[in-house]
Structures are given as C-alpha cells and as structure tokens.
Structure 1
C-alpha cells in the first residue's frame, strides 16, 4: 500500500511538473508574441507620425533648401545669412511689435471694442513668406506677410492678406 501511494504521488508530481512546464512555456510564448505585436504597432505609429510631421513641415524655411540658398549671397559678393539664426530673429522682431498700444500693426486689424490684436504664433514658410495667427482675446485671425532682409540686416514686413474669423 505504501508503495502504491508513493507511486501515485510520484506520477502526480510528474504530471504537475509537465502541466506547469507547458503552462509557463506557453505563457512565455504568448508574452513574446504580444510584445512583438505591440512593438510592431508602436513602430507603425511612430512612422505614421514622422510622415505626418514631414508633410506638415513641407512648407517651412527649415526644410526648404531653395529658400535657404536664397540667403547665401557669397557667390555674388554679398554676405551669408544663416537661416537658423534668422528664424528666431524674425519671429522675435514680429512678436516685439505686440507691445504697441494699438496692437501689432501687421495683423491688418485695428482695435475692436478697445482690445488690441496681437500675434500669437509665427511660421516662416520660405525666404519671403510668413504666416501668423493673431487674436484680441475674442476674435481670431490669420495673416500672410511678406518679409525682407536687406544687406544691413534690417527686417521689414508687409501685410499681404489677412483674415478675421467670425465668432
């Protein structure tokens, strides 16, 4: 009786080990498959976001080599303007005009109900065009500006088109 009990316990222990081994080996395989699926999904998402970012930055001075070459006047004896340094200078100069008591003159809008229009966001599209977002707290709009950089590094702006959205 003692021998048969030991035999049953031994067989039971072997069965428990086999089931435990099968369970954990399948759990590891399942975890690896889940990890691979998640990793593939994340890589696809990252690639999609990169593609969308590239499409969104298509019209920007940072990614337009022809517009960047416009500022390289070294072949004609002029000086070279680095676009990396130009972008913050132009943006800062345009945003500094927000301190005007009548609002930024390059929004193309006068005060409405005593509230001045100021430029919130600026993007240099190329060597000549800027698009900017402006508001007075109640109304929002967008403006398309031309900008010019002369040989003395003076920057001038010109309003080309402005649009004020309705409430």
Structure 2
C-alpha cells in the first residue's frame, strides 16, 4: 500500500511537471511573439519620430533661432533669447487702444490684434492678425537697436475674405 501511494504521488508529480513544462514553452512562445510585435511597433514609432523631426527642422529653416548668421547679428547685445524679446516687443503693440497700429485695416467685428509671430531672421517677421472674425497676415521689417529699442515697419499685408458660414 505504501508503494502504491508513492507510485501515485510520483505519477501526479510527473503530470504536474509535464504540464508546467508544456505551459512554460507556450508562454515563452507567446512572450517572444509579443516582444517581436512590440519591437516592430517601436521601430515604426522611431521612424515616425525621425520623420516628424525632419519635418520640424524643415519648418524651422526660416527662423532666427536656427540661423547662425542672423543670430550673430545680436551677440553684442547679450540677449539670451532675441526671438522672445522681439516677439514680446511686437506683442506690446497690441496694448494700444483700438486696432494694432501695424495692421492697416480697421477691425470690423472688433479690434485687429496680432496673434501669431514668426521671427524669420534679423530683419523680417511674419505675423498673423485677427479681430475674431476676419484675419490676415503681415510681413514686418524690424530693427533691434543697441539700446534694445525695436522699430517695426510694415512691408506688406493681406486680409483674407471671410467665407460664408
């Protein structure tokens, strides 16, 4: 009787060991397949990140921050962020009562104010303006003086026709 109990225990332990061996092999295959799938997704994401980075660099080609020759124009002023400084000075023109003085149109649904600004180099800015319903673009020439004053002059402008709603 004692030998039968040991025989049954041995058979039961063998079946458990066999089950664990087979299931661990299946789990290992599933995990390997999942790792390969995640690796493929990671490769795709890395490719997407690289593509977006290249597009970003292309979009930032015309930018004071990425133009060393234009940026060197302001090194004697010891400004840490010339783009931010110029942008702030241009946004200060919005503080005047009524329309922004650089916008050559009268606001139709409100006052025209400058919204978005792109400092292209050490001489030119592209800006967007709007009154909430009508909008347009400006090309502005600027000069940053040694006393950190900034003179802005409008080179060209465009007001978009309002689409029918």
User: Which TM bucket (shorter chain)?
Assistant: 0.7 to 0.9
Matched, 1:110 2:106: yes
Normalising by structure 2, we get a TM-score of 0.83
Q: Does the 8 Å CA contact 1:97/1:103 hold for their aligned counterparts?
A: no
Could you list the per-position Cα deviations for residues 57-110 of structure 1 after superposition, in whole angstroms to 9, with x for gaps in the alignment? 1100000011112234xxxxxxx0245432222211211111222311112222
Name stretches of at least 5 consecutive residues in structure 2 with no aligned partner. none
C-alpha displacement of 1:135? 0.1
SS at match of 1:90: helix
C-alpha change, 1:85 and 1:7, in structure 2 (3 Å) is: closer
1:166 corresponds to which residue?
A: 161
Q: What's the CA shift for 1:13?
A: 4.0
Aligned to 2:49: 46
2:93 corresponds to which of 78, 91, 97: 97
Q: 2:124 aligns with which of 111, 124, 129?
A: 129
The number of equivalent residue pairs is: 159
Evaluate the alpha carbon distance shift between residue 5 and residue 71 of structure 1 in structure 2; reply closer, same or farther with a 3 A threshold. Answer: closer
What CA distance in whole angstroms lies between the structure 1 residues aligned with 2:59 and 2:78?
23
Report the Cα offset of residue 152 of structure 1. 2.6
CA distance, structure 2, for counterparts of residue 62 and residue 10 of structure 1: 71
Q: Identify the match of residue 71 of structure 1 among 63, 70, 74.
A: 74
Unmatched segments (≥5 aa) in structure 1: 73-79
Distance of aligned partners of 1:151 and 1:2 in 2 relative to their CA distance in 1, 3 Å threshold: closer
Instruction: State the TM-score, normalized to the length of structure 1.
Output: 0.82
Q: Which of 19, 24, 28 is 2:27 aligned to?
A: 24
